[in-house]
Amino acid sequence: MKAVRQLATAIEMLLGALGLYLGFMLISDPTGRRLDLSTSWLQHTLFADYLIPGWVLALGIGLINLLAAMFTLYKKHGYRSMMLLAAGLTLLLNLVGFFLLAEQFGIQWVLIFLSIVLLLLAYVLSKPEPVQAGVQKAIPAQAKSGKTHHFHKHRKRGH
């Protein structure tokens, strides 16, 4: 399961980096020229330029996936839920962009594919780990007896 978690973290970091990069490229140049995008592709959408889609990419894909990567990396409580949220949001936003824009781009396919892989990894991580036959985890002696310290019965305390 550690390898699955590491792969999920790497995908989340990649999605986060791509989201931040593309988002900030669109924010810095809302005309889309830096990324060879035409504003005519936005004519059937609510947007006049790429400023708001840039913020959606930077925050909705970039920051959410980087936050999910930190949760997954450090196994914070709810990291699988965060992974599902990030992957689902990435998939949803890219599918909306895919159907709204007049043109489709290769990077959209990459983001959609990676988010589906991330959803599958979250499913794998949600399954309980199988217990191997004959293998028991070592239990510390302190946990067995419940004692936190040891005093000899025949010794006086403080002497």
Question: Per the domain annotation, does 147 fall within a domain?
Answer: no
pLDDT at residue 8 above 60? yes
Confirm whether 80 is domain-assigned. yes
pLDDT tens for each residue of 121-146: 989 988 877 766 665 665 555 555 55
Closest by alpha carbon to 11, among 117, 136, 145, 125?
Answer: 117
CA gap 18, 38 in Å, rounded: 20
Domain, as residue range, for 122: 2-130
Residue 50 has pLDDT above 60, yes or no: yes
Domain count, the chain: 1
pLDDT at residue 93 greater than cutoff 70:
yes
Residue 74 covered by a domain = yes
Tell me if 125 sits within 8 A of 4, measured CB to CB. Answer: yes
Amino acid 150 reads H
Classify residue 78: in a domain, yes or no. Answer: yes
pTM of the model: 0.74
